[in-house]
Structure 1
């Protein structure tokens, strides 16, 4: 794990930066459109997709209501951000920005990148919900391991301008960025290498004090100096003279400029113009003592000097100094013990800020090589120091050795990922697993300095763990087979070798080297849809490989693919849930065959088996069934009285019955909302995955038994399918004739069962073993049976495996 490439992302209010740590070196990643290290933290909705960074900035003047910048300050707010005819939560916009950064970094690196460090303000404490939103945004962008690091702590690792700090010195990090102010008190430690390390003694922050706030003060000053002419220009009216208001509209733009909506749009455009003008003024006053410029948009001359800017910003700068002094007091340190005050963030380029700091901390100011890139560079350097973020296993004496670990910060966490499995040999310094601590940080679980072999894992990925939990058993003389897990008696269940995997063919997707963010197998086994970066591609699956059929320059959120292999898929374009429609796309041609109007965000959808109807569930838990030929609403039900767990809901092929998880059980109801009785003799308390059977009114789900899948029908019969080698299944597939069912676990194991004939009503029939198994070299993304149920297709993020049954 220590050698994985890591993205270090400084998500800033006005601009962001990204560094890539790979192969032992750090390099910055330029924004491809702007050819700059600084990525504008801005988005724009163009009616079909979300543009990020410089392309969004380019559309700002023409479509101001579809533009949004500085959305970092909206993180955690419940109200969505409106962009034209679409709306997003702030964390969705963060995901779009991170996705663009990850895509460009992968293009440069040539391989997938799934681990990242995101920096955040020091005010995002352990209990702050914005920490979870940032982590979730990174995971939604395809990053499986996301760590958080306070911005001033990251800055402490940035390359210094001048000589390095001597060990044992106290340094105050002063980080004045675009949206927040952060401070950290650090102490340099003994230098084990050229970079050295730091100890963080404390940090503090001001959420409402940044370069953006200075821009606002400066814009207000410019309006005062511009007088009535500039004030009038900012509030366009229907009869305002275009000549007095700046550039004269012409053609189609002039036609659009009439009416209250156009006036509001024009007013927003002018406010954005003023903000940009004030921002440029601020930067120029960092190098010029006095400026006189012509505000072209308003047709007015405006002037300002550096002394007046210092007066305007004095209250903000005074607050930052007070924040630093409070931090020193909390840490029990005085300013005279500081070796330096390290200046980070673009706002520290302002002479007014440096003058105030020189007065507060005389003779202590130090700089970094680049104040605006310091946080990203420092986060990358921090990501390369794994010396302080792991636990070593505790090992008692004995042949069969249980391993446990101590966790910091309360001693609890969530197990994110295993890097070893039963039967694996491991070296003395192996990383066994990755854990997320209660404060949001990542923590490694390592071997105890001795090599060995894994016999058994006792917790699944996603489970909560505590210090001292028995998580792994190692040290058996004979390796435990995959059939002897979780305390089962040797010989009582079939071993791995008893069931040899059938032959399979691996077909690369694209160039076979690029990892795709989403791989969807269309039922019937003939077509594949992939998503990567900013594109969606449809493929035809042939015996000799994958043939590209179509490509669209935007990523869709696929909420359903079905119709018994009739090549239809519900593919809402990005933001569809807020754009109030759901599109039906032909998987063969990529063409939109129709749309249904829809209110709210679409959580899930399903086709009827004959392809004539479409059921859609909204985020308000309202279920509607539409006729595809005309879009009429046939049935509507309010399911909000059910406390659904997540977004999971499945419907039977006739769209008559629905099943969805509620807490640790599954509720079954008629599509009109009337709840039905639960299947008899069946306890379903692991509803992480539900699947509707393709031809009967029945469903399948993860069982209360970790190594099993439950299948039940509304007429009362039920099956419990076991496989002792299977960890909790997270993917399910069933053949069109309902003869075979397949399940995949997070470790890449796929098991296939033959479904027995229906048992008598009110009886659960046990199936003790699977018919066939296969172990894939990486996690399986999707499963589907071929049309004739003689093949099973499994998709990883690089290959399609066709398994001959």
Structure 2
């Protein structure tokens, strides 16, 4: 699952969404217009947004807009959310599985309405969905949040006025006035323009001279065109003294003057001020008034409200239509309010949480998986419809067992999981000391096909060999015996605890249990996987595909964190796990923050890149075995021009790099390129190379043969 969250607001006239991953917030734009506002509309041809508006001209019977009946609007909301999710996924180049849906007060007043919205999100494919009351999001949008705010939301269907308390937050009071919504101005403007257009306009909109079937379709098209003309003129006259437009090419030119608009707005302003006055009288402590909604875009409307509400600061945004999603982003960042710490269990390994009833939505960590301190283990939906994320204790551990399944009821104080202390960590690269000796051949393994990859298990006993195009072998390196033959693999890697073997396959990563206590699983990826690399703490897994995409996967929670389409082929983590470097097919190196995928820098390699590595301090990145690049200075640190430009290297546990050329092996210091040790060997140029976790052995792969060679002993 991805950590990305789609924050969406499906409004009566327009909808909007942003996608949040880490600290990055990106607007999800309408695919046709590229604008952040989507028309709330669908067409029977599976279109939504601006495309649906265009399609209604050709096929008006297939068009549908907002009806104000949540049961009839199910398809509309579902298709809008599904399309927004797809656009967000393309934007991030990765999945978006969580939804925060901004909803109006009607959904919170009616449990059935709330249930239907959450069910739509589930059908669309969101693993988690939560609702946020729109007034709360709107009150959070301004840069300076008030302790007690009056929010006047001029929606397309109604004015919703709410008194919102920041602490909590909570809606303390509200009123709704349908006659102060955007539709009322459009209706009034329409009547004004029809009167001004007179006989000529009426003739241009006539359809009674057409055959009945044709007349019905043409009438709908003309209604759409007239409504669009009203919207255009309303927008134009807000910025100019007069707006002139025509509904049809043969119809009269209609004019709307700014004074006309001001006069038509006056009744709406009066109703809004009356509604605001009643709420202010009941809540004298309001210290800020927030204006939002489409009508606020009209300058004379906003000024009239300010003039009628003296004594308190009045604020509105440059883009008032986007206030709800930007405010929701701020509230979504208030994560501690939605996370629940485990209650004390008298020193026992079972965990329980103080949750006032509800149902388990899903687990975020699989049994047998390690997790860091305070990690999120599960998600629960409480009786009031809110999501709560159940947090691990303040120390890392391993999830031993789960005592409830998705959909099961959750009782306050009930034990939901059992955990244990984590196993001893594997040696950290650079913490192992090796005394190098003359190479000695220890084992020879005969197999078929050339090697696509080699990997040692964390304890050094097992050696996995990916046979190019024909499968994978698991060998016991202590006696040279073949233990298992597995399916097709283009690369191999062991899990940090050594209990699973990961194999890169055609469209994902196949995870095989080596102990029989875990089910075989697949991490889906939409391409052939040719590289796998765990970070130093074993939590992050870099998945590299043949098409040049890198996906960073959270191994503990089994969720994709991010995906980048400008990196691929090989990858490496910095020793502290903070950075991940990947190569591109055109010979560049992309360095990113591992947690967020944010690009830090790019380095021109100039040649096909077969390997990447870091110095122990993380300052120098080694491209192939030939060149060191200082990430801090942006300058070349060293160059070995006596080696082939595409010479690969493999990391050693003591923080160095092993380079295998025909007839000789070299151990390099990655920081300055110094040759620490050199061995004369009888082997040719290997096709694959890997060093054992203790640094004393090397597995060298050739066509049909693997040699296990001793190169040292623990220092």
The match for 1:357 is 305
SS in 1 for 2:192: helix
Query: 1:146, 1:506 → 2: CA distance?
Result: 36
Residues 474 and 344 of structure 1: CA distance in aligned 2, closer, same or farther (over 3 Å): same
Query: 2:396, 2:506 → 1: CA distance?
Result: 41
Conserved 8 A contact 2:291-2:315: yes
Shift of 1:416: 0.8
Give the gaps of 5 or more residues in structure 1.
Answer: 78-89, 190-197, 240-257, 480-499, 509-542, 547-747, 752-770, 782-795, 799-805
Say yes or no: does 1:116 pair with 2:99: yes
Q: Which has the larger radius of gyration?
A: 2
TM, length-normalised to structure 1 = 0.51
The match for 1:150 is 133
SS in 2 for 1:236: coil
The match for 2:674 is none
The match for 1:459 is 404
SS in 2 for 1:138: helix
Say yes or no: does 1:275 pair with 2:212: no
Query: 1:326, 1:405 → 2: CA distance?
Result: 43
Query: 1:448, 1:38 → 2: CA distance?
Result: 42
The match for 2:19 is 20
The match for 2:28 is 29
Query: 2:363, 2:185 → 1: CA distance?
Result: 47
SS in 1 for 2:301: helix
SS in 1 for 2:7: strand
Conserved 8 A contact 2:358-2:383: yes
Equivalent position to 2:295, from 329, 333, 347: 347
The Cα offsets for residues 679-710 of structure 1, whole Å up to 9 and x where unpaired, read as: xxxxxxxxxxxxxxxxxxxxxxxxxxxxxxxx
The match for 1:179 is 157
Residues 439 and 212 of structure 1: CA distance in aligned 2, closer, same or farther (over 3 Å): farther
SS in 1 for 2:157: coil
Shift of 1:132: 2.6
Conserved 8 A contact 2:156-2:183: yes
Equivalent position to 2:384, from 439, 442, 460: 439
Query: 2:115, 2:20 → 1: CA distance?
Result: 24
The Cα offsets for residues 24-46 of structure 1, whole Å up to 9 and x where unpaired, read as: 1212122231121212222223x
Residues 343 and 219 of structure 1: CA distance in aligned 2, closer, same or farther (over 3 Å): same
Residues 421 and 285 of structure 1: CA distance in aligned 2, closer, same or farther (over 3 Å): same
The match for 1:63 is 59
Query: 1:72, 1:450 → 2: CA distance?
Result: 51
Query: 1:469, 1:413 → 2: CA distance?
Result: 12
Residues 797 and 429 of structure 1: CA distance in aligned 2, closer, same or farther (over 3 Å): closer
Residues 437 and 749 of structure 1: CA distance in aligned 2, closer, same or farther (over 3 Å): farther
The match for 2:183 is 212
Conserved 8 A contact 2:135-2:164: no
The Cα offsets for residues 392-426 of structure 1, whole Å up to 9 and x where unpaired, read as: 2112314x34332233xxx2322111112333333
Q: How does 1:325-724 map to 2 (within 5 A)?
A: 325-328=277-280, 333-334=283-284, 337-363=285-311, 364-398=313-347, 400-407=348-355, 411-475=356-420, 503-505=486-488, 545=506
Query: 1:26, 1:297 → 2: CA distance?
Result: 43
Residues 333 and 471 of structure 1: CA distance in aligned 2, closer, same or farther (over 3 Å): same
Shift of 1:120: 1.2
Query: 2:307, 2:484 → 1: CA distance?
Result: 74
The match for 1:101 is 84
SS in 2 for 1:51: coil
Aligned length: 454
Residues 397 and 545 of structure 1: CA distance in aligned 2, closer, same or farther (over 3 Å): closer
Conserved 8 A contact 2:200-2:251: no
Q: How does 1:269-348 map to 2 (within 5 A)?
A: 269-297=221-249, 299-328=251-280, 333-334=283-284, 337-348=285-296
Conserved 8 A contact 1:123-1:207: no
The Cα offsets for residues 296-351 of structure 1, whole Å up to 9 and x where unpaired, read as: 3561132333444344444444444444445456xx521xx333212222211224
Large movers: runs of 4+ above 6 Å:
476-479, 748-751
Conserved 8 A contact 1:5-1:115: yes
Query: 2:191, 2:93 → 1: CA distance?
Result: 47
Larger mean Cα displacement after TM superposition, 290-299 or 262-271 = 290-299
SS in 2 for 1:412: coil
Shift of 1:273: 0.8
SS in 2 for 1:372: helix
Query: 1:62, 1:264 → 2: CA distance?
Result: 13
Conserved 8 A contact 2:97-2:126: yes
TM, length-normalised to structure 2 = 0.57
Residues 320 and 416 of structure 1: CA distance in aligned 2, closer, same or farther (over 3 Å): farther
Residues 285 and 146 of structure 1: CA distance in aligned 2, closer, same or farther (over 3 Å): same
The match for 2:172 is 202
Query: 2:277, 2:489 → 1: CA distance?
Result: 62
Give the gaps of 5 or more residues in structure 2.
Answer: 425-482, 492-503, 527-557, 561-715
Shift of 1:775: 3.0
Shift of 1:505: 4.2
Shift of 1:428: 2.6
Shift of 1:501: 10
